[in-house]
Structure 1
Amino acid sequence: MKTQVTLISIAIAATLNSSAFAATQTNQDIEVITVVGQQQHYKTDQAHAAMRSDVSLLDTPQSVTVIPTEIMDDQMVLTLGDALKNDASVSIGRVTTDRERFSLRGFSLDESTNLLKDGHQHFSKYRLPMALMESIEVLKGPSSLLYGQSTPGGLVNLVTKNPTYDSFLEIGIKGDDNGSLRGMLDAGGSLNEAQTIRYRAIVEKQENKNWREYQDGSAQESDFFVGSLMTDFDISDDLTLSLHYDKSDELAGQDSGALVDEQGNVIGGNETIWDMPWTKIDAQSENYGADISYQLSDDWNIDAGYNKQHNERERWESKPQTGSYDPDTGSYKNKPYNKLEDWQQQSFYFDLVGTLEIGSMQHDLLFGGNYLKHEYSSLKVKGKMDSGNIDTGIIVPQPDLDYADGKSESEHYKYYGVFAQDLITFNDQWQVLLGVRFDKQEKTDADNQSVLPKLGIIYHPTSYASIYANYSESFEPQGRVLDDEDASFGTELDPIKGEMYELGTKWELLSGKVRLNAALFDIKRSNIIVNQGSSDEPITTQGGVQRHKGVELGAIGQINDDLSLITSLMYLDAEYTSHDEFEGNRPEDVPEWTASIWAKYSITERAAFNLGAFYEGARFGDGDNSFEKSAYTRIDTGISYILPVAGNDLQLRLKVENLFDTDYLGGGENGEVNVGKPRTLKFGVSYKI
């Protein structure tokens, strides 16, 4: 592991040295220009993943939110959840040491299918390195036409930073009052005078300390490293080859969350971790691949790419059985285990994009396909049940477990799809989007295939506004019933289907500096698996229905020369309308109301003030709706200043999260919850040359 990290560091250092040499050779006669510090604003006009082409958001019949790097910098974002809190349609579920769970419009996002990287399927059961990200795109509603199997709430696309033409070097450090420190280096530029070879290299090292503590008084800590190298080669005026590589490495103690009583009070105190202090996760992730872009003509372009992803993880778990907690004695069971896991994914895609004029109509055409091969293997060895005590802090000793006694499991499947999409422009006012996809999964006892349509209609009352309606579908492949005690044993289950009707509008105001958007939606997820028998005599069938109806409002942009903001609000009526266990219930951790606002006021060209509020309404803490987590509002604030040093910019940032130290409960799962972080002071310093 250390050898791999060293190799990455050497590769990046070599690239940086080459860049410095190239700059020395080619820039001797170039005039030096001093850049005056200036505040950046928030609005973005495109989301490439929404249409898999560079189509304006006004011409996109779908609700989309783009969170750009300027917002993530101002908020000093560390995790994907930190960024997604800017969109009220996203709720953060359970957060554990190495990953986060999310729901979008109330539907859980699958970590294997609903999170994309640069518009392509990405396996995401690990800490996603935000240091590599340029922006976050949130696509609302089913997007299976372009991306295949996924749940119907929508998709989140992580857009990575790209190589640059101009040379730069940025060094930064961030930290907080818990003792966490994060060092970062980001460099880019051209490696030759013609600027046909470009690169971007990023390294970040984190040493994070949690505010929560184990029962022996030690803090939960994690060490995280990520290194990335991206290169572009202009082989000709029409052909570009891009190569990318990144490697991350994490070693972290476990924190599974807290337990609450029937009144919603945290048992054992907000700061107490139920896991044993010897628990940890040791995880590595590696991605590499290549993309080509070829301009066939003035109107047609083809893109294609390949990516290989390899994730390894070893877990030492005490697995606290919070359901066994005895409030009279404070005791609870622990069920320790060790587990080795290995995931490998290979993916390929192609997109053919072009424009045709037929009569008075313009056709923006997209033909594409994608292929994915997924392989998983694990080895798990269990320890003996032992008892801890949350009141007295009894520490269960770490068992000596041998993987030779473990149980192995494996899974593999292949998945592919092809699609066609046509955005037809009839005139300045009317556009229609038509699309269809064929999808197939090859998996033992789980072969599935689907044909999915999409229809969108757009009306432009003016050149700076659009009103749209769309119908789209999603699907989630299932398999056969494998329980031989089930009366339906061997039955092949149909895919779980989702369908959405959406009506929305987008308006560009203040000379295009501000975009307002609103949407009404109705999403139905059907064919949910249900049990029509009993626990002793199960009969697995399909027929469950989950229906979510709601409204979203949002705005982003520059109100005037000094004030920028991003704000959103969602009302959601969510219910299991048909289900053997949860019929009539609201899904877990899905609030009725959510809202957020984040604003930046530029005091001068170099100084800015930030203020934000994030509201989450009351939510049920489990699927049975047996207890409720109270609504809360969290206030964040910050300041930044650009200090000129040696002709370049030194960026200083200070942020206070949860300014008023509000007590609240975050996401959870199976009755366990994440305790909201108390008031935290963060700082950041970066220097760019």
Structure 2
Amino acid sequence: MRYTLEPDLDNASVGKRKATQGPFEILCPFPRLLVPNASELTMSAFSFRQKFSVLATACALTPAAFADTDDTALPELIITSAPTSSVARSASIGGFSETSLLETPASISVVTQEQMQDRSVRSATDAVKWDASVQNSYNAVGLADWFAIRGFVLDQGANYRKDGLVILAQAMVPMENKERIEVLKGLAGLQAGIASSGGVINYVTKRPTDTPVRSATFEVRERGTVYGAVDVGGRSEDGVFGYRINAAAEDIKSYIDGSTGNRNFISGAFDFQLSPRALLQVDLDYQHKSQLTVPGFQLLGPEQRIPTGIRAKQMLNDQSWSRPVVDDSYNLGLKFNYKLNEHWRTTLQANNSTLHRDDAVTLPSGCQAQGLIVGYCSDGGYSMYDLRRKNDKRSITTTQALLQGSFTTGDIAHDLTTGVSTLNRRDHFADYVFNYVGESNIYDSVYYDNFALTGVNPVHLRRKDEERAIFVQDVMRLTEQLKLHAGIRYVQLKRDQFNSSGMMTRHTDDDFVLPNIALLYNLQPALAVYGAYSEGLEPGGEAPTGTTNAEVIMDPSKSRQIELGVKADITPDINLSAAIFQIKRRNEYVNDNADSTQTYLVNGTQINRGLEFAARGRVTRDWMLGASFTTLQAKAEGTGDERIEGKRVGNVPKFKSAVYSEYIWPGLPTLKLNATWIYSSSKIFAPSNEIAALNKKVEGYHVLNLGASYLAQLGNTATTFRFGVDNVFNKFYWGDTSSAFGGYLIPGAPRVFRLSAQVDF
């Protein structure tokens, strides 16, 4: 019997695809005995990929099932088209609505839900490591995912978005309810307003689908972490109401000795089709996470040597009285779409992001014996502190109203977007309890079991932001091949900062105009080149602990970017992109005062210049290959400070690459093997944004990850088994060399195993 399977064009899990990417035809003998409900493989609970894999598996097993029959020759499996591609073709982060990546004059990468499933992604760090432009900033185990893009550290209260609106990223962002992750590399002043120069990460939430979703995932990994999640969705029979529910629970036993904890998550996304023109969307999520966090390492002695003989599993926060970081995070989003007519539509959107935190760590920092505030003793000794504060509350409420439409003036076609947005931020927190405990050593830990935790400081309002913006963007088709993107955003910011007594310590009241202009030319329908100039608005860095202005946030300032790029869809399964760029912004760092104190200040300009290249697609029917390369020069100029003038910026490799391969086993299309090779060149470790001497150079590294997946038909249930091992050769390397919190070196993960089963029913 011959079966024809059409791709599920409306299934969000595989992205939007053209109808030309199918159909598949499979010729299967004796289907009713092996697959009694074969005709039901079109049932909506299965994605196209699952339908194909289940049917192909059943057909592949047919000869064994009928070994005792009289038939001596059995027809072979016939596939009349290559597997469909999971390459993303569009994203919303480059503008204000879903737009073709080929037609967007910016460097954008997208991680799809299918890719996240295949790679067993459980965190944003797992998801973006295939993009060489993204670098870990301070991704300590037990804390949040924190990144730098194009050499600039992202702001955790400005550069992370959910469905286009700001969310707080000081806590881990859950992946269970995310449809895809979009990464805009470079300035996003027009799209985002206030945001650090590196770029923007946008998490797109899962929405109800026309076809029911019923999926459960179970996983074990590391030293016994147990994870479970469910994904359920669908619509009412009349299509008016849709729902998508995701939930997860995790018993955490990290690869770091003693870093244990737990996590619980639940989310809901609901659609209400109020009329053929009006759609109301609501989404909400809640996450509780508690885990003992893992401090990094500092340099040794006045000579500032990089520690050696360190184990990647080593834990310095392992006192009997150590307390976990406890995060409770909430998000509530509303979105209303109304179609005015065939050419115009309006969107009203709002989101509230709230984080409650109890912060605690047994902090290794400095060396009293050698008078070091930052840095361990020459022999590996360090001073130990009890660092705690309770009842932090941070919240951001954002709104946005858009009017979008198309019209023509003469021979020029316009796609116009105009809108307004608001942001209100409130941070309530206390000063840290900072109690000296005693001395310990990274090579021989000392335990203080009788140390008593004492005192907490009162919580006060410490920061208040009010941001208002008006923006307009016009995409003009000047000819059939040439488009002009022109936009401008006006931003008004009021920010107040307060000390622990409630007294205002800094007031900011300023406005900014952020232009953006780009030309995009289609040399061919599937080949485009572009040039763009944009201005962004830096949120201002926070002065680190130990400086005279500790915890003060610098005033916003403008940044500027020039970018030239090319994009090509070589085939429906292969796309390429490349970009060269230059970004300039004000330089922030810690200086040395005459009285031996240190102050965080703004001085000179940081200039990052780089080249990015990315390619992904099917080399053959069975072999998919992806690659991402970034070369980057980052330095400070115009500072007048010989310590940093013209020197490399910390935690920025000159070259980084990520190569990913996936291979479908011939004759058994339900078995897939994958491999990832990640390389980073050397970096400079620059504590507190100081520029380091040559002896602070951190060597580069190579990391190889391997994995496999197998889709089996167990009764009437499709089950995908996945196995993976990261850092196959158990190589020790310094993953982060961050200047955050005074500067810490963080080891990369050692060899880690994981095994999971995804059941779609």
SS in 2 for 1:275: coil
Instruction: Measure the CA separation in 2 of the matches of 1:212 and 1:173.
Output: 22
Instruction: Measure the CA separation in 2 of the matches of 1:479 and 1:388.
Output: 32
Instruction: Measure the CA separation in 2 of the matches of 1:529 and 1:260.
Output: 18
Q: 2:495 aligns with which of 439, 443, 449?
A: 443
Task: Return the offset for 1:54.
Answer: 2.4
| Alignment match, 1:235 | 274
Aligned 8 A contact 2:427 2:463 in 1: yes
Instruction: Measure the CA separation in 1 of the matches of 2:597 and 2:680.
Output: 41
Task: Return the offset for 1:599.
Answer: 1.5
SS in 2 for 1:247: strand
**More divergent stretch after superposition (57-66 vs 36-45):** 36-45
**More divergent stretch after superposition (679-688 vs 263-272):** 263-272
Q: 1:473 aligns with which of 509, 512, 535?
A: 535
SS in 2 for 1:311: strand
Residue 242 (structure 2) pairs with residue 198 (structure 1): yes
Aligned 8 A contact 1:78 1:130 in 2: yes
**What do the CA deviations read for 1:358-407 (whole angstroms, capped 9, x no partner)?**
2221111111221111111112452531213224422234533233x547
Task: Return the offset for 1:648.
Answer: 2.9
Residue 306 (structure 2) pairs with residue 270 (structure 1): no
Aligned 8 A contact 1:259 1:266 in 2: no
Instruction: Measure the CA separation in 2 of the matches of 1:354 and 1:81.
Output: 37
Instruction: Rate the CA distance shift 1:392–1:58 in 2: closer, same or farther, 3 A.
Output: closer
Matched to 2:421, the amino acid is N
Q: 2:159 aligns with which of 107, 111, 114?
A: 114
SS in 2 for 1:584: coil
Residue 403 (structure 2) pairs with residue 386 (structure 1): no
Instruction: Rate the CA distance shift 1:267–1:659 in 2: closer, same or farther, 3 A.
Output: closer
Matched to 1:430, the amino acid is L
| Alignment match, 2:42 | 33
Instruction: Rate the CA distance shift 1:371–1:193 in 2: closer, same or farther, 3 A.
Output: same
**What do the CA deviations read for 1:439-478 (whole angstroms, capped 9, x no partner)?**
0111231112100111100111111110000000111255
Instruction: Measure the CA separation in 1 of the matches of 2:758 and 2:590.
Output: 54
Matched to 1:292, the amino acid is F
| Alignment match, 2:586 | 526
**What do the CA deviations read for 1:112-166 (whole angstroms, capped 9, x no partner)?**
1111111111111101101121111111111111110111121111111111122
Task: Return the offset for 1:46.
Answer: 0.5
| Alignment match, 1:590 | 652
Task: Return the offset for 1:235.
Answer: 0.4
Aligned 8 A contact 1:496 1:527 in 2: no
> Identity of aligned pairs, percent?
24
Instruction: Measure the CA separation in 1 of the matches of 2:755 and 2:554.
Output: 52
Q: 1:562 aligns with which of 610, 617, 622?
A: 622
Matched to 1:264, the amino acid is I
Normalising to structure 1: TM-score of the pair? 0.89
Q: How does 1:305-384 map to 2 (within 5 A)?
A: 305-322=349-366, 323=374, 325-328=376-379, 330-380=381-431, 382-384=433-435
Instruction: Measure the CA separation in 2 of the matches of 1:67 and 1:683.
Output: 21
Aligned 8 A contact 1:382 1:406 in 2: no
Task: Return the offset for 1:228.
Answer: 0.2
Q: 2:612 aligns with which of 533, 552, 559?
A: 552
Aligned 8 A contact 2:168 2:354 in 1: no
Q: 1:414 aligns with which of 448, 466, 488?
A: 466
| Alignment match, 2:557 | 496
Residue 576 (structure 2) pairs with residue 516 (structure 1): yes
Residue 477 (structure 2) pairs with residue 425 (structure 1): yes
Aligned 8 A contact 2:625 2:661 in 1: yes
Task: Return the offset for 1:417.
Answer: 0.7
Query: How many equivalent pairs are there?
Result: 646
| Alignment match, 2:287 | 248
Instruction: Measure the CA separation in 2 of the matches of 1:335 and 1:199.
Output: 46
| Alignment match, 1:646 | 715
Instruction: Measure the CA separation in 2 of the matches of 1:478 and 1:106.
Output: 16
SS in 1 for 2:116: helix
Instruction: Rate the CA distance shift 1:243–1:684 in 2: closer, same or farther, 3 A.
Output: same
> Which structure is larger by alpha-carbon Rg, 1 or 2?
2
Matched to 1:360, the amino acid is D
Matched to 1:241, the amino acid is L
Matched to 1:50, the amino acid is G
**More divergent stretch after superposition (389-398 vs 128-137):** 389-398
**What do the CA deviations read for 1:244-265 (whole angstroms, capped 9, x no partner)?**
1100001111211234545533
Matched to 2:705, the amino acid is D
| Alignment match, 2:74 | none
Matched to 1:175, the amino acid is V
Normalising to structure 2: TM-score of the pair? 0.80
Matched to 2:197, the amino acid is P
Instruction: Measure the CA separation in 1 of the matches of 2:344 and 2:745.
Output: 51
* Structure 2 unmatched runs, 5+: 1-38, 44-50, 55-82, 367-373, 497-506
Q: How does 1:605-624 map to 2 (within 5 A)?
A: 605-622=669-686, 623-624=690-691
Instruction: Rate the CA distance shift 1:392–1:263 in 2: closer, same or farther, 3 A.
Output: closer
Instruction: Measure the CA separation in 2 of the matches of 1:668 and 1:378.
Output: 27
**What do the CA deviations read for 1:643-668 (whole angstroms, capped 9, x no partner)?**
01222310110111111222211113
Matched to 1:418, the amino acid is I
Instruction: Measure the CA separation in 2 of the matches of 1:263 and 1:540.
Output: 24
Q: CA RMSD in A?
A: 2.7
Task: Return the offset for 1:548.
Answer: 0.7
Q: How does 1:72-91 map to 2 (within 5 A)?
A: 72-91=116-135
* Structure 1 unmatched runs, 5+: 1-29, 214-218
Residue 463 (structure 2) pairs with residue 402 (structure 1): no
Task: Return the offset for 1:416.
Answer: 1.5
| Alignment match, 1:287 | 331
Instruction: Rate the CA distance shift 1:202–1:266 in 2: closer, same or farther, 3 A.
Output: farther
Instruction: Measure the CA separation in 2 of the matches of 1:89 and 1:456.
Output: 22
